[in-house]
Amino acid sequence: MRYVRTAVFSNVENLLTYKTPDAGPEKIGCRVIVPLGGKTATGLVLEVSDTADIPVEKIKFVRSFLDETPVIGPELIKLGLWISDYYLAAPGMVFSTMLAPLFKITFKKIVRLINETIELKGRQMDVAEYLKDKEHNEAPFSSMEKDLKISGLHSVIAAMQKKGILEIEEKESFKGIKKKRVKPETGAQDIAAEITLNSFQQEAVDKIINAVKNDKYSTFLLFGTTGSGKTEVYIRAAQYAVSRGKKAIILVPEIFLTPQVTERFKKVFQDRTAIYHSGLKPAERVHEWERMKSGEADVVVGTRSAIFAPFDNLGLIVVDEEFDSSYKQESEPRYSARDCAVYRATLSGAVVVLGSATPSAESYHNALNGKYGMLVLPERVSKRPMPEIEVVDLKIDANKSNGLFLSNNLIKGMQDALDAGGQVILFISRRGYSNYNFCMTCGKVEKCVNCDIPLVYHKAANKLKCHYCDYEKPPALICPSCKKPIAYKGAGTQRVEDVITQFFPDKRIKRVDMDSMSDRSEYFNVYNSIKDREIDILIGTQMITKGFDFPEVTFVGVVSIDTVLNLPDFRSEERVFELLMQVAGRTGRGDKPGRVVIQTFNPQNPAIEMTRKYATAEFYAEQLQIRKELGYPPFGKMMQIIIQDENGEKAFKDAEKVAEIIQKTIQKEAMKMISILGPAEAPLSRIRNRYRVSMILKSKNAKSLNIIGRAVKQNARGLDVAVIVDPVNTL
């Protein structure tokens, strides 16, 4: 008999052991169908051995193997186990995330009443009555569990099955695509341009190439100002890796950016370029996954999940705009693709290039202290000047007549740029708290009844909508607080679009945000129409700030940034700096110089002041100093625990239980120097009708936090608790 240790695709914390008469090590990395607590589940075989690790009589048989050959190699198995261990995620959840493009089999247990003549009593009668009401006298077991709420339903049904009253059938269904493969739309156009590297680029490429040549792990920070030609460095590095028979993964933070980057890579790698992001349809994902797996592609351009690309001989991983929070998955498994890149590279002896004009303080610190190699591109290509940045103090210089806080300087800047034939980008921050629908008389902000965050006014639908849940309501005509007529104003993207349309009636204006974009083909259309100069003014949120290279953009206006500044999070200043530097970096990328106007109520804020002066080194020095004093990353490890419940008091009570588990663990393990903040109301205190209580743990010792997190997960069963390792925000 052989025993297979299996990650079952379900929220089970440990690997499970099953037996099978004849499986050998060739089955490692194959999917299996196995019984799981009276149900059937799919899983992935991670180990095969001759001996069992638990009493043999308890071990169940494998039902069948799904794959002839492994769908996942040893390196990705190691990566998955590391993710499971480090981020405290169930192994089956991790591997099912990794294998998401492959079809999944789900099983439904159908219970059918076949004999009504036998006399029944008690719970058996309830079951029979329930089935009698159903079509064909049958129902899925899962619905019966939900509807009947009978304790021990399993054994009741088993007993009835024995007596011949019921029969049970398992129905398989495929989720996702089994056979069909479709080539995805990339949004990329054909481009042809020969580029000669400048000396800074050349030096960076040389260093990366040397490292790739060594076949040994190393990581570089490519710290290059906006427009310094980082993408060209990535391409040359990938070219070298591929010339040595290796593969390259190129991660970008945003689907919207994939056409541009894909375009540039396709120029070099043509059809051997794969794309991979969450916007692909299942059939397209399978298509690209199989091309990578079979060796038909050398390079993949993709978002977060492309870090799991099924390449065997990996030589290079690029993480572009590595600071971006989208690299962290916000649901289980809560991995950071950037940190996984570094770990995966250590497994395969690959080189990692983390690129950005505004690296995270963590990566910057690692480069300063020599953990990463530092590569600097200090100037823009062709010695183009950085755009001039002007900061407008809204307290003084607001053109209040239009009620929208659009300053004269900003409108004037736009006008000048458009008159000269340039394109304009307007940025509006919409993350966090802001007064999208405040009463102009008393300042009252109407909030979501479920989530306690401000509602956003949607003009097209004439509704107030919540951006966390689907709550919506008609806008009130009278302010609920001061009873005066209410005016719906504020700097939402839609409102800005309306006002800008009035100012520039003959210009082609496009608004880009979550509401105006329904699918990725729209992103691709917008990308291409900006490039083809069919849009004069682009208005948008965070998603338009990074990466784009449109040479005709000569003016960038920052309509609002203060809402980000006011977020109660230790990274909020870093985020402001990144956003402003990045969005400013979208202009002056062609032959004409660029200009930037930033509007704010806080012109003296260091993040804004240092952006204006391009005082990058100074900014990081200050940030790192603060972080050091408070033990924030990179000077300490951090873990956040979020406890939720519909009832606010219960959420706090549950949090107290969690706090107790933490204290007990600390005592038991005699841990020192763990600092604990909270339990306290989370800044986003209610989402989807659930109250959120937060605890933050800091320590120099990652292992200690890992042990505590594990203890919380194991002992807080039944409570709604999320353990977030290395959180990117603490909201």
Q: Is 452 in the site for Zn ion (CB under 5 A)?
A: no
- In the bound state with Zn ion, the residue whose beta carbon lies nearer, of 466 and 708, is 466
Q: Is 466 in the site for Zn ion (CB under 5 A)?
A: yes
**Cβ 546 to ligand ADP shortest distance, Å:** 9
Number of residues that bind Zn ion (CB under 5 A): 7
Whole-number Å distance between alpha carbons of 352 and 589: 27
Question: Per CB under 5 A, which region of 172-180, 285-293, 371-379, 468-476 contacts Zn ion?
Answer: 468-476
Residue 715 partner contact from Zn ion, ligand ADP, none using kind-dependent CB cut-offs of 5 to 8 Å: none
Closest CA to 636 of 722, 693, 696: 696
Whole-number Å distance between alpha carbons of 250 and 304: 10
Q: Is 450 in the site for Zn ion (CB under 5 A)?
A: yes
Tell me, residue by residue from 429 to 448, as one string, x for binding to Zn ion by CB under 5 A and - for no binding: -------------------x
CA of 363: how far to CAs of 83, 233, 326, 571, 701, in Å?
20, 19, 16, 14, 19
CB 451, CB 468: distance < 8 Å? yes
DSSP 172-196: EEEES-SS---PPP--PPP------
Q: How many residues comprise the chain?
A: 731
Residue 230 partner contact from ligand ADP, Zn ion, none using kind-dependent CB cut-offs of 5 to 8 Å: ligand ADP
**Cβ 195 to ligand ADP shortest distance, Å:** 5
**Cβ 209 to ligand ADP shortest distance, Å:** 17
* Four-CA torsion 15, 17, 23, 26, nearest 10 degrees: 10
Q: Is 456 in the site for Zn ion (CB under 5 A)?
A: no
Residue 201 partner contact from Zn ion, ligand ADP, none using kind-dependent CB cut-offs of 5 to 8 Å: ligand ADP
Question: Per CB under 5 A, which region of 162-170, 223-231, 469-477, 604-612 contacts Zn ion?
Answer: 469-477
**Cβ 366 to ligand ADP shortest distance, Å:** 20
Residue 468 partner contact from Zn ion, ligand ADP, none using kind-dependent CB cut-offs of 5 to 8 Å: Zn ion
* Four-CA torsion 500, 504, 508, 511, nearest 10 degrees: 0
Q: Could you tell me where the DSSP H helices lie in 36-122? A: 74-86, 91-98
Residue 471 partner contact from Zn ion, ligand ADP, none using kind-dependent CB cut-offs of 5 to 8 Å: Zn ion
Residue 6 partner contact from Zn ion, ligand ADP, none using kind-dependent CB cut-offs of 5 to 8 Å: none
CB 94, CB 79: distance < 8 Å? no
Q: Which long-range contacts (CB under 8 A, 24 or more apart) does 383-388 make?
A: 384/227, 384/588, 384/589, 384/593, 385/588, 385/593, 386/225, 386/226, 386/588, 386/614, 387/556, 387/584, 387/585, 387/587, 387/588, 387/593, 387/594, 387/595, 387/596, 388/593, 388/594, 388/595, 388/596
**Cβ 452 to Zn ion shortest distance, Å:** 8
Q: Which amino acid is at 528?
A: N
By the 10 Å C-beta count (0-12 exposed, 13-18 middle, 19+ buried), 53 is classed as exposed
- In the bound state with Zn ion, the residue whose beta carbon lies nearer, of 9 and 691, is 691
Residues that bind ligand ADP (CB under 6 A): 195-198, 201, 224, 226-232, 381-382, 549, 589
- In the bound state with ligand ADP, the residue whose beta carbon lies nearer, of 205 and 448, is 205
Beta bridge partners of 302: 251, 276
**Cβ 521 to ligand ADP shortest distance, Å:** 23
**Cβ 591 to ligand ADP shortest distance, Å:** 11
Q: Is 471 in the site for Zn ion (CB under 5 A)?
A: yes
Residue 466 partner contact from ligand ADP, Zn ion, none using kind-dependent CB cut-offs of 5 to 8 Å: Zn ion
**Cβ 540 to ligand ADP shortest distance, Å:** 18
